[in-house]
Structure 1
Amino acid sequence: MNVCSSYLAEPLAGTAKQESVYVLFEWPGGWSRDVLDGETFGAELTGKLRAKLKGVAGLQLIRRPGRAGRQVGKMHRCYLVWAREAVMEMVLLTGPEQILDLDLTGPGRNGGGVIDAPLMLVCTHAKRDQCCAVKGRPLAAELDRQFPASLVWETSHTKGHRFAPSVLLMPWGYSFGRLTAQAGAQLLARAIEGKFFVPANRGSGLLSPRCQVAELAVAQLLLQAGEELAYGALELADAPSSTSPVRVTHPDGRAWDVALEQREVAGVVSSCGDEPKTARAWVPRTEPVLVLGT
């Protein structure tokens, strides 16, 4: 059997889950293959949730790692994330039907408390792909042991199980893949300080694949030069033509043009059991070129 996450040919950059608003609902078990396929919450409620969330927000089911995560009391934690504003709030709900009553148009409209700490969501969705359970659960358990205060959660499908362990970082909505325990600990330690982390970074869910790759190229350039960078600090202006560079601007006024091209990547296995295929990936054609500033 072809185990998808064992194939490392595909670049990580440019593969992030694209979403700007998230509902992270604590639901300890019974995640069907697609949490909105009707098997997790029943057909009637699922239909209502789909209508509520379509084009508005992405739903992630979450639970704490280990046995503790399989037990939830009468109240369920629900984190609401607006990645563009980098704002995360937490409300307590009695059940998934209360998601229907949430106002997801912006922060501060549901009576929730603002969460200042980051959350790391590690995909452990076994029914979607076995790699997520085999590689995700040990990572979530280890990082939960190192970082207290409920910073680490198991989550349902994050897109990209071929990159397991696959991770979402909130409140910024960045995706990461192929994380080791050491890299995961470094990622979370920097996230607590709001600092950008490049290794294993797949990109921002707010950006197109081209812009994800361009942002990561400039971020790597800055961090290698010893500069620090916060999530969301860089501004991206995608070009109307796919052959034109992406402009990346720093808050201090510096700007870089990143020339990109699509290349064929052989040996990509999308899911466990699939045959390897050839895909296409955006990659930088050259290093970022400084066009404004010194």
Structure 2
Amino acid sequence: MTALNTARPNPVRCSDTGVEPLPGTAKTGDRFVLLEHPGAWSRDVLDGDTFAPEFTGRLKKHLKASGMGLQLIRKPGREGRQITGHTVYLVFSDQQVMERLVLDSVEQIMDLDLSAPGQNDAEFGARPVAHPVLLICTHAKRDVCCALKGRPLAAELVADFPSDYVWESSHTKGHRFAPSMMLMPWNYSFGQLNREATTDMLMAAQKGEFFLPGNRGRGTVDARSQVVELAVAGHLISRGETVGLSGFQVDGTQVRLPDGRVFEVEVSQEDVDGVISSCGDAPKVAKSWVATAVTLSS
């Protein structure tokens, strides 16, 4: 006789544990299409349930050909459900460039040239964006924490900033750090920030300044490099320096600054017990990169 599985899902919300270091957990990617889509978002927006399966297949190929990731976006509240056109941002995080355009239909994405900035000016009126864009994950079908913590924050912030600065977003990775967010065009991820801290972060970004609290890393580099870069940024900020969002060059455990200084960072990989990846999951042991020392090498 087969025994019944009577185990109950873990009732603890994944974002309430707070045991895992944030550095090194950013969603990786160099380029993104941010597409305004007011309809329902399925668990994976490219699983064939958000868009028709045939179109989803073509869209996947189109994005893959240019190395683009896809984030669905919408404005909070009723405004986000009542649109006359689809706002699109083309984000080239590797070049720290972002463009904005408006499409009449989602299907027109297939007509966009995603190879590089400046390719969609004439036909689609793409224009450079000079301000930061903050994506706050509200993807409830991926994890309920994003609905509980992301939606209220997004609704609060849209009252504080100009239109197009703050958007709800599909999965930004790291719902265990909810509210989870991505700062474009640099692709820095943040987590566990309240309204006041998020406001400070976005205001710093407008000035091109680095914001350390809640910073999970820059997604254009791998997890270890994210930790290395954040360690150097934290070291400089602790010494009273103003650090810019641009200019870090990470090579292994070395970071070169625009002024020519080079820092060496010692890192180790450590076990972290009690990590709940998603709501309902059992706690597990995860690996995290940790910076243990920062020294000026040249």
Coarse TM-score class (shorter-chain normalised)? over 0.9
The counterpart of 1:63, out of the listed 51, 58, 74, is 74
The residue that corresponds to 1:161 in the other structure is: 175
Give the match's secondary structure for 1:187.
helix
- Structure 1 residue 2: deviation in Å? 2.5
2:20 & 2:292 partners in 1: Cα distance?
16
Residues 1:175 and 2:181 aligned together: no
The residue that corresponds to 2:18 in the other structure is: 8
The residue that corresponds to 1:147 in the other structure is: 161
Residues 1:258 and 2:268 aligned together: no
Give the match's secondary structure for 1:135.
helix
Give the match's secondary structure for 1:146.
coil
CA-to-partner distance for each residue in 1:97-128, whole Å, 9 max, x for gaps?
11112211110001110010100000000111
Computed over aligned residues only, the root mean square deviation of the Cα atoms, in angstroms, reads 0.9
1:29 & 1:268 partners in 2: Cα distance?
32
2:246 & 2:112 partners in 1: Cα distance?
26
The counterpart of 2:256, out of the listed 232, 249, 255, is 249
> Amino acid of the residue matched to residue 291 of structure 1?
S
> Amino acid of the residue matched to residue 269 of structure 1?
I
- Structure 1 residue 226: deviation in Å? 1.6
- Structure 1 residue 162: deviation in Å? 0.8
> Amino acid of the residue matched to residue 138 of structure 1?
P
The residue that corresponds to 1:81 in the other structure is: 91
The residue that corresponds to 1:233 in the other structure is: 247
The residue that corresponds to 2:5 in the other structure is: none
CA-to-partner distance for each residue in 1:36-59, whole Å, 9 max, x for gaps?
010111100001111111261110
> Amino acid of the residue matched to residue 105 of structure 2?
G
Residues 1:289 and 2:292 aligned together: no
1:192 & 1:263 partners in 2: Cα distance?
35
Give the match's secondary structure for 1:51.
helix
The residue that corresponds to 1:243 in the other structure is: none
260-269 or 216-225: bigger deviation: 216-225
The residue that corresponds to 1:241 in the other structure is: none
Moved beyond 3 Å, runs of 4+ = none
Confirm or deny: 8 A CA contact 1:122 1:155 kept in the other structure: yes
The counterpart of 2:287, out of the listed 259, 275, 280, is 280
Residues 1:207 and 2:211 aligned together: no
- Structure 1 residue 212: deviation in Å? 0.2
What TM-score, normalized to structure 1? 0.94
Query: Is there any run of 5+ residues in structure 2 with no aligned partner, and where?
Result: 1-10
> Amino acid of the residue matched to residue 15 of structure 1?
T
The residue that corresponds to 1:18 in the other structure is: 28
1:201 & 1:29 partners in 2: Cα distance?
30
Count of equivalent residues:
283
Give the match's secondary structure for 2:159.
helix
> Amino acid of the residue matched to residue 125 of structure 1?
H
